[in-house]
Structure 1
Amino acid sequence: MQATIKILISTGIIASTTLVAASNNWLLAWLSLELNTLTILPIISKTKHPRATEAATKYFLTQAIASCLLLFSSTTNAWQTGLWNITQMSNELQSTTMLIALTMKLGAAPIHFWLPEVMQGTSIKTALLISTWQKIAPITLMFSMSNHLPQKTTLIVALLSMFSGGWAGMNQTQLRKTMAYSSIANLGWTLLTMTSEPKTSLINIFTYMIITIPTFLLMALTSTKTLQAMTTTWTSSPTTSTSLAILLLSTAGLPPLTGFLPKLLILDQLVTQNLTPMAVMAMISSLLTLVFYLRIMYLTTLLNPPCSSTSTTKWRQNMNGTKMVSLVPPATTMLTALPALLL
């Protein structure tokens, strides 16, 4: 890909997301989301492989259907109220349709089946882009209309996302699919307090993004794509292997790591809102995600010599961006030390 095309695509992705975050009009938001979809399609299909073409097609069809629902909901709302303002979604039917459209763009359950397939069909860095940057625009729109979101429907979608991500992630051997189901489960945590305390939801989703970025970068630097390959990560860089384990435990929400704080805030908010049964179900679902996080951590850190391994060792092979290997682990350690500084 030429440098000019890279600059053009990067500018389109950044500008479209910025326009969505700054817009107060549904038409401008819809146009920006369409620009965002069109600019990321060449990145997904850049790899010369049928799986990449399939992933780009699935992504385009899903985003197109979600955009149609978004445009239908905003047009119907403007027909009734005479306003295109994002914060003026007073009708429950239009708010529910808009919620379905935004959750479809995010990849939340029950319309989440496209996300693991798309992330599996792309490169690790593209999967990182889909699971982090591409969620900013829909989350911003959901935050803007959080006062008008139907609470019961939002809670049902949140619970479905948490349990679907937990159950499906336990059966995966591909790391990109595992991280996709981890993203789905985390979206459930984000949606739990979107109607009652949206700022807590933003803290949760952005904390997850901060933890996910170095995780994907470490996987890309070590060329690790499967659980079997995780058993030999220590041969490339023991520091990287340790950092991956800490990041995965932080994503799981174990104290006193960074990922525990937003989940604690969400549980506290649910109890304050007299939604204690919902908080209990959220904690039960977190045990499901903890299973596959601990399995990855076990393969990363505990299967070291003299333990046997069926994988071929890498023995310090040359990795792309070797200089970054020494920079990313200290940064991740600083991230996981944040709770100690706050407490």
Structure 2
Amino acid sequence: MPPLALSMVMLGIILGTLMVTSANHWLTAWLGLELNMISIIPVIAKQKHLRSTESATKYFLTQAIASALMLFSSTLNAWQTGSWDITQLNEVTSILMIPALAMKMGAAPAHFWLPEVLQGSTLTTTLLITTWQKIAPITLLYMMSNHAKSNIMLLIGLLSILVGGWGGINQTQLRKMMAYSSIAHLGWTITAMSITPNIALLNIIIYMTMSTPFFLLLTTTSSKTLQTMTTCWLTSPTTAMVLTLLLLSMAGLPPLTGFTPKLLILDSLVTHKLIIMATTMALLSLLSLVFYLRTTYLLTSTAPPTTTQSTMLWRLKPNHSQTAATTIPIALFNITILPAMLT
């Protein structure tokens, strides 16, 4: 892609997200989401390959359906209440808006497009879809959280955790595995959004902080399948160790950073007398733990004195390594500053 075209596309992605996060009017938010969607489609389809074209088409169709449902529900709300304010929603509009935003984010049961789109995209585009593209719909969900139906939010969150854990177990492609990981983390975020929105924002921010260096290191090592991960330790032990810590952090194991938001969400659920919901979520998170631990086992199983027969398919790229190195400490060790963030 030419530099001028790439700069225009990235400007559209950034401006679209900023329009949504600063909007107080449903039409302004809808325009921001449309600008964001139109800008990222060339990024997905930039590869001269049928798979990338298919991914861009699937992304466009699902986002267009979600935008149409969102526009319909906001128009219905304005017809009934006389207001286009995002924070002023009636019950019917809230019921329609939550599935629209869930489809925008890729939460279950409207998750079908996310693994296929990520599989047909590059690792850099995958990072963009799983992090930056979720900011706008999560912001809208946060702004309307006071009027959202908690039963629907809890159901979508629980279903997303189940689908994310169950779907990721059977994957050997890293991009599809991270897609289901994103769905599972969205489930935790949506569940917390109906009870304690601030903890939900903390959870998604920490997930984005953890997944950014993970995808950057995958780009550095050109790893796309579980088989290619087995040669990581022989070429760069430091990269393998950091990837292992990042995976364990995303799994939510203490004392790493990913454990803190899950603990806070479970504590909030128990405080609101939702003990069965908290127990179910904790048990379903074990499904995600299976494929996280499987990947870490493949990363560390070839550590000395063990050898591997797999062919080394990559070499390190120094520029990407430096970019990833700046975000790794934040992703792994910001647990020490979390109490100050919550007070």
Instruction: Return 5+ residue gaps in structure 2 as ranges.
Output: none
Instruction: Return 5+ residue gaps in structure 1 as ranges.
Output: none
d(CA) in 1 for partners of 2:152, 2:166: 21
Contact 1:240 1:329 in 2 (8 A): no
Contact 2:213 2:331 in 1 (8 A): no
d(CA) in 1 for partners of 2:83, 2:322: 53
Is 1:99–2:98 an aligned residue pair? Answer: yes
SS in 1 for 2:177: helix
* CA shift in 2, pair 1:281/1:57, >3 Å: same
Aligned 1:39-118 pairs, distance under 5 A: 39-90=39-90, 92-118=91-117
- What displacement does 1:336 show? 1.5
- What displacement does 1:310 show? 4.0
Aligned 1:101-250 pairs, distance under 5 A: 101-250=100-249
| AA at the equivalent of 2:212 | I
Contact 1:250 1:257 in 2 (8 A): yes
Contact 2:162 2:284 in 1 (8 A): yes
d(CA) in 1 for partners of 2:163, 2:331: 28
Deviation per CA, 1:211-256: give whole Å up to 9, x if none: 0000000000000000000000123311111000000000010000
* CA shift in 2, pair 1:132/1:327, >3 Å: closer
Give the stretch that moved more between structures: 135-144 or 332-341: 332-341
d(CA) in 1 for partners of 2:29, 2:119: 28
* CA shift in 2, pair 1:242/1:333, >3 Å: farther
- What displacement does 1:296 show? 0.5
d(CA) in 1 for partners of 2:322, 2:2: 29
Aligned 1:264-283 pairs, distance under 5 A: 264-283=263-282
Contact 2:229 2:299 in 1 (8 A): yes
d(CA) in 1 for partners of 2:268, 2:104: 26
* CA shift in 2, pair 1:339/1:190, >3 Å: same
Cα RMSD over matched residues? 1.4
| AA at the equivalent of 1:25 | H
SS in 2 for 1:337: helix
- What displacement does 1:341 show? 5.7
Contact 2:234 2:302 in 1 (8 A): no
Contact 2:249 2:332 in 1 (8 A): yes
d(CA) in 1 for partners of 2:23, 2:310: 51
* CA shift in 2, pair 1:330/1:40, >3 Å: closer
Deviation per CA, 1:20-56: give whole Å up to 9, x if none: 0000000011111111100000000001110000000
- What displacement does 1:129 show? 0.2
Is 1:319–2:316 an aligned residue pair? Answer: yes
For residue 263 of structure 1, what is the aligned residue in structure 2?
262
* CA shift in 2, pair 1:28/1:249, >3 Å: same
d(CA) in 2 for partners of 1:239, 1:319: 12
Give the TM-score normalised by structure 2: 0.96
- What displacement does 1:300 show? 0.9
- What displacement does 1:172 show? 0.0
Give the stretch that moved more between structures: 190-199 or 74-83: 190-199
Quote the sequence identity (%).
55
- What displacement does 1:113 show? 0.8
- What displacement does 1:304 show? 2.4
| AA at the equivalent of 2:206 | T
Contact 1:86 1:145 in 2 (8 A): yes
Q: Runs of 4+ in structure 1 displaced over 6 angstroms?
A: none
d(CA) in 2 for partners of 1:139, 1:260: 21
d(CA) in 2 for partners of 1:4, 1:163: 43
Contact 2:206 2:331 in 1 (8 A): no
For residue 339 of structure 1, what is the aligned residue in structure 2?
335
Deviation per CA, 1:146-168: give whole Å up to 9, x if none: 00111111101001000000001
SS in 1 for 2:262: helix
For residue 16 of structure 1, what is the aligned residue in structure 2?
16
Deviation per CA, 1:159-202: give whole Å up to 9, x if none: 10000000010000000000000000000000112122101100
- What displacement does 1:327 show? 5.7
d(CA) in 1 for partners of 2:88, 2:150: 17
d(CA) in 2 for partners of 1:98, 1:342: 32
* CA shift in 2, pair 1:334/1:131, >3 Å: closer
d(CA) in 2 for partners of 1:171, 1:310: 23
- What displacement does 1:342 show? 5.4
